[in-house]
Each structure stands twice: as C-alpha cells, then as structure tokens.
Structure 1
Amino acid sequence: MLITICRLYDSYIDANRVVVMLEAAGLPPSEKSVISNNSDTWYSATKTANIVPVRNYGASSKADGKVEGAALGAAIGATAATAASLVTMLAIPGVGAVVGAGWLAALLGGMAIGGVAGGLLGALTNAGISEEDAQVFVEGVRRGGTVVAARVPQSELPRIVPIMNQSAVNLQERSELYRKSGWQSFDPNAVPYTADQVRSERALHAH
C-alpha cells in the first residue's frame, strides 16, 4: 500500500531541489508529482499556448525547449527531450494558472474528464490527504507556492519524509498565518492572485 506525502514550498527552486533528491533516492518517476502556481507565467510551453481549464482538460503542452520546462519534467525523471510533453498547463478555479507534472496533474485531468468536481482540493483528498491539510496546500498554491506529492510504501517513510521536509512550509504555522488575515478555507470561487500578488506573497515568505 502506498502512502501519499505532500509538502508545500514557497519557492519553486526549493521544490525542484527536493524532487531531484527524491529521484536520487530511487523514488520511481511515476510516484512523484509537482503542481506549481504559474500566475506570473514563469513557465510557458509555447508562445501561443492557451492554458487549459481543469474542467475542460485537454492534451499536454508541446515542447519548446524552455529550460524551465525541461527542469520540471526532468525533475520527475523524464529526459530533456520528453520533459515538456509531460508538463501540463491548467487553470484551476479559485487558484488560477498552474503548471503540473506527474500523477497529481494526471489525476486533475482525469477528474475533469470524469466530471468530478473539486479541482486540486478534490485531487489531494482523493489521494489520501486530510481535507484540513489539503485546504492549506491549495491556498498555498493559490498564493504562489508549489506542492510536491510523493507516493511511497510505509517502509520508506523514514527515508523519504526527511527529504521532503527540507525547505518545506510548516503547514500548521502557515494555516494560522492565513487565518489571522481572515482566511477560513479555500474558496473555488475566489479571484485568483495576480502576478504581482503572487510575487509579493513569495517575497513575504522568502528565506
């Protein structure tokens, strides 16, 4: 039985570093996934690519040789040549533009095809994350963060969890911080953060 471990990172660089370490630790590419806020368009599959709404999920984006795309795909074990084809650009209600790779991105697409509501929140809870934690993970992505999710056997937890904890957000502290500002739970009808708001939020939590 595989257990899902999920962590939030304020910096995509931190998230990417963790995924590369998971790769080095021998975690199969099929068991790693990344969902990252793309409101500031740090990743662009093609100059003319349209972001695919989650409810209308379509094909993965085409390769354009961008370093960021190669890094994202390579981080989950793809070669540079096939990396960008594994990267999916989505528009999630309440979150906005995201770029994803791996099984969680595929799950988001499968939910949309099947007409299942819930977006990223539903995908995380379906993967075994508690709703309380999933609420904070999704709000974190909405505000500019990156989620890394890994599926591992119970016996591997002592080895994998410390890797994923490196540079990860303390979820309890972040939840309390959000609530102090009036946040109660993720709202799929909320207006997504603008690029400037995302940059400001990232700067707020910069190491």
Structure 2
Amino acid sequence: MTVTISRLYDDATVAQAAIGRLQQAGVVDDDISLLANNSEKWFSPDLATAAGKGAAVGAGFGGVGGLLAGLGLLVVPGLGPVVAAGWLAAALTCAAAAGAAGGILGMLAEAGVATNEAEIYAESIRRGGSLVSARVPDEDKARLEALLDPSSVDIAQRRSELQSSGWAAFEPAAAAPATDDRAGTRSEPAG
C-alpha cells in the first residue's frame, strides 16, 4: 500500500534539501511533489534564463534537478499563483481544467492528508511556505518521514500561531496577508 507523507517548510532551500534526501533514499521524482508560494526563492534570474534549456534548470538545483526541472507556475484557487511540480501539481491542473471543486484542500484530502493538517498546509503555502509531499510504500513511511523532519514546520505550533492571530480555518476566498519579516509567514498590513 502507498501512503502520502508531507512536510511544510518556511525556507525554500530547506525544502530543496528535503526533496534531495527523498531522492537519495530512492523515492522517484514521479512520487514527489512540491507546492510553494515563494516563487522568488524558487526562480532566480539564473534559473529563469536556463528554463528554456530543460536540464539546465535541474543543474541549477544540484541533486534535486530531476523533479525541479519541471517547476512551473500554477494558479490554485485560494492560493493564487504557486510554484508547483510533481503529481500533486498535475492533479490540481487536471482538477482545474475539469472545473472540479475542492481546490487544494480537496487534492490534499484525496492524497490522504487529514483535513486539519491540509488547512494548515494551505494557509502556510498562501503565506509563503513550501509543501513537499511524497507517495511512499507504507513500510517505508517512518524512515522517509524522518528524512523530511529536519527543519520542517511543527504543524501544531503553526496552528497555534495562526489561531493566536485570529485565523480560524483556511478560507479559499480570503486574500493573502501582506509579507512580514519572518520567513514563510505573512501578517496583516498595519493601518
């Protein structure tokens, strides 16, 4: 049986490293996905120039190039434009083309992510985070989750932070808050 494992990162470089660890552990690119709303961290001018050169994009990312060579921008209801790659991005694209409802929460639920976690992932992506997900054999779940854990966001702590700022649940129609100084988070503009 295959299960989905996911981790959230506030730093794009740390998310890239997590993808690299999954690949080194034998998870194939077809089973890894990325959704991120911090495109300035994923698309540097050098990588944008290399985009037309296929594998050159991957070379810019070092060992994680295979998956990330397919990076593209995707507009996701509730999140806006996101950097996306992998099977989850493909599922979102197909759902949008078919006019399917549910958006990011529906896709994460279909992938086996619990609703309470999916809401935190979606809100954190909206605020600038990066979500790395992988489809893995059930018997490898614990080992591969351990590879994703270093520097990942503590979901319970993130929920507490969001709720203390007045957030109750992910609302796809809500506008993204303005960026603050903390990596991967945004806050309401003053005034």
TM-score range, shorter chain: 0.7 to 0.9
The CA distance in 1 between the partners of 2:115 and 2:92, in whole Å, is 16
Residue correspondences, number: 183
**Counterpart residue number, 2:181:** 200
Q: How big is the shift at 1:69? A: 4.5
Please say if residues 43 and 69 of structure 1, whose CA atoms lie closer than 8 Å, have aligned partners that are also in contact: no
Q: How big is the shift at 1:181? A: 0.5
Please say if residues 46 and 63 of structure 1, whose CA atoms lie closer than 8 Å, have aligned partners that are also in contact: yes
TM-score (norm 1): 0.77
Choose from 86, 100, 104 the match for 1:120.
Answer: 104
Q: Taking structure 1 as reference, are residues 40 and 26 closer, same or farther at Cα in structure 2, changes over 3 Å only? A: closer
- 2:181 corresponds to which letter in structure 1? S
Please say if 1:77 is aligned against 2:66: yes
The CA distance in 2 between the partners of 1:204 and 1:191, in whole Å, is 14
**Alpha carbon RMSD of aligned pairs, Å?**
2.8
Unpaired runs of 5+ residues, structure 2, are: 187-191
Q: Where does structure 1 differ by over 6 angstroms across 4 or more consecutive aligned residues?
A: none
Q: How big is the shift at 1:141? A: 0.4
The CA distance in 2 between the partners of 1:191 and 1:68, in whole Å, is 35
Q: How big is the shift at 1:158? A: 2.5
Say which SS state the counterpart of residue 64 (structure 1) adopts: helix
Say which SS state the counterpart of residue 168 (structure 1) adopts: coil
Please say if 1:183 is aligned against 2:167: yes
Fraction of identical pairs, as percent = 36
TM-score (norm 2): 0.83
Q: How big is the shift at 1:13? A: 0.5
Please say if residues 72 and 101 of structure 1, whose CA atoms lie closer than 8 Å, have aligned partners that are also in contact: no
The CA distance in 2 between the partners of 1:161 and 1:176, in whole Å, is 22
